[in-house]
Amino acid sequence: MKLTKEDIVRVKDGSPLDLFGQGIKSKKTLDKYTGMLRRITCDVLEDVLEGTFEERVRQMVAIGREDPGWMRDLLLNLSRKLRERTELPRDDPDYLNPDSIGNYFKPIKKLLDMNDVSIPWRRIYATYPERDNVSESRGWTREEISTMLKHAHGPLDRALVLVLASSGVRAGGLDLIWEDITPIYRAEDGGLTLDPGPDDTVACAVLRVYRGSPESYLAFITPEAFNALQVYGRTWAKLRGHLPGPKDPIFLVQTGASASAKILRDRVDRMAVKAGLRGDKLGKRFSVPSMNGFRRFWNKTCKEAASGESALASLIKKEYMMGHRGLVALDQNYFKTNLMELAVEYVKVVADLTIDDSERLKQSNRRMAENIQALEGEKDAKMTRLEAEAERMRLEVERVRREKDEAVERVREEVAEIRDRGGATADEILNAFLKSPKAGGVPGEVAESFTGMMRQLGAAHENAIREMRAEYDAAMRGMKAEYGAKIDAMRREMDRMAKAEGAGHGPSAGPVEDVPGGERRGHDQP
């Protein structure tokens, strides 16, 4: 691919506010940044800029282009004023959380960057105060959420609270449509499946949060929350006059329009106030954030729940279910997981996330039954392995015994064969020669020479016999040591297995006793 001079077309810039909007993909982020930019230009800089909001934005960009140094000084003074507010007592109405300072500068930076205004932002960032504001707030407790549900105004409130508590989604993640919800069922083999089974038992349901955006992720809700949504769906149908379609929004207001995050937050606040859960504020905030309190409840409950797999893998998956990238940024690239793996991890904490006591007891009993079944299967498999190992050891003992007997027999046969090949001893041959009638006709020196030769032969024969016996004895000691060690090792292994089987209440091969020949066998062996 090549780019020619004719292909180069000068880009016509739009208004500064239009370029500002082009640099933000998310509508929610755009609305948030626009609101903050309006507040800065029209309120904070009310005496510095003039005109409408759009005119003030153009003035800010023009000043930044003509005199970047002046714009830099303006931002440094804005940072100084904000920093002074962070040093006030927490109960002061003008107190500003140090973490909030960046929110004032993000829209300004986006505006100036999109309009080619260069500012030394590192110098601006260096003026931010230290982050020493450890929050003393907490999440909702299960008891508080249960009390809140008693003051729910209809199915919408109940479904809203249960979805928040069981999924941990942010308030902005409630902008859901009905096709964002997919139930996950229990399979006949005890696993999970997306296909309804014979009894259509819902194990949990998955939510596609922020569908269609780069921040999209999978969250999950309990069967309790899923059932509450089904009940609310019937109210939804009455309100709209038809059953919900896949693309229809879930949470609606009385007019039929999609409920904003603020409207849903107001409903939660109303329930909390009626339930008497709104005490004194910690500075400008309550001890429990109305919406984020559910997210903290979810996080604490799931992180404290036991997991059957690697603790690290469990934590990473739970971070994914909160819309995070994992424990570290690289987890997103290297720790891959799928829907069902996350669902299996979530089902382990369904009972802990269930609010209603009876439902939680039902989920706990189901989970306990599944654990017992899994343990029984594991026990049966272990006993089968132990029985197979015991049989293998018994056969091995028999094989070693046979090898020993065969080796001893082979040595005996070799000794007998050597003796047979040696024939009569030298003394026997000499005595037979001297007693022979023909011996008297043999000269004396010949008879004496023959006698000496036969005696030497006899001595050599005796030496050969002694060496053979020594070799035989050494061979027998070696075999005894070798096979005795093998048998002792197998005996100890069988004793260990018998103890293990006894501890697991499984079948035992019986105690091991001594048998002739140095072997040991169990009572159940021949």
> For the segment 466-489, what is each residue's pLDDT rounded down to a tens digit?
777 777 677 777 777 777 777 777
pLDDT at 215: 81
pLDDT at 513: 41
Q: Indicate whether 172 and 270 sit together in one domain.
A: yes
Residue 448 maps to a domain? yes
In angstroms and rounded to an integer, the radius of gyration of the C-alpha atoms of the chain is 45
pLDDT at 519: 42
Q: Indicate whether 82 and 208 sit together in one domain.
A: no
Last residue of a domain, one of 338, 355, 372: 355
* Sequence-separated (6 or more) residues with CB below 8 Å from residue 205: 181, 182, 183, 184, 220, 221, 223, 225, 226
Q: Indicate whether 305 and 405 sit together in one domain.
A: no
pLDDT at 512: 40
Q: Indicate whether 311 and 410 sit together in one domain.
A: no
The domain tally of the chain equals: 3
Q: Indicate whether 405 and 492 sit together in one domain.
A: yes
Burial grade of 223 (CB within 10 A; 0-12, 13-18, 19 or more): buried
pLDDT at 508: 40
Q: Indicate whether 158 and 281 sit together in one domain.
A: yes
pLDDT at 232: 93
Q: Which two tokens stand for residue 170?
A: 């942010």
pLDDT at 227: 94
Residue 439 maps to a domain? yes
Q: Indicate whether 116 and 176 sit together in one domain.
A: no
Residue 194 maps to which CATH number? 1.10.443.10
pLDDT at 36: 94
Last residue of a domain, one of 97, 125, 153: 125
Residue 149 maps to a domain? yes
Describe the chain by its helix, strand, coil percentages, rounded to 5. Answer: 60, 5, 30
pLDDT at 40: 94
Q: Which two tokens stand for residue 350?
A: 């369904």
Residue 7 maps to a domain? no
pLDDT at 510: 43
Last residue of a domain, one of 65, 93, 125: 125
Q: Indicate whether 274 and 304 sit together in one domain.
A: yes
CB atoms within 10 A of CB 377: 11
Q: Indicate whether 257 and 111 sit together in one domain.
A: no
Q: Indicate whether 183 and 212 sit together in one domain.
A: yes
pLDDT at 51: 92
Residue 59 maps to a domain? yes
Residue 258 maps to a domain? yes
Ranges in the chain, pLDDT < 50: 328, 330, 334, 423, 438-439, 442, 505-526
pLDDT at 103: 92
Q: Indicate whether 391 and 504 sit together in one domain.
A: yes
Domain that holds residue 288: 142-355
Dihedral sign from CA coordinates of 219, 159, 353, 350: negative
* Sequence-separated (6 or more) residues with CB below 8 Å from residue 361: none
Residue 2 maps to a domain? no
Q: Indicate whether 160 and 291 sit together in one domain.
A: yes
Residue 5 maps to a domain? no
pLDDT at 188: 78
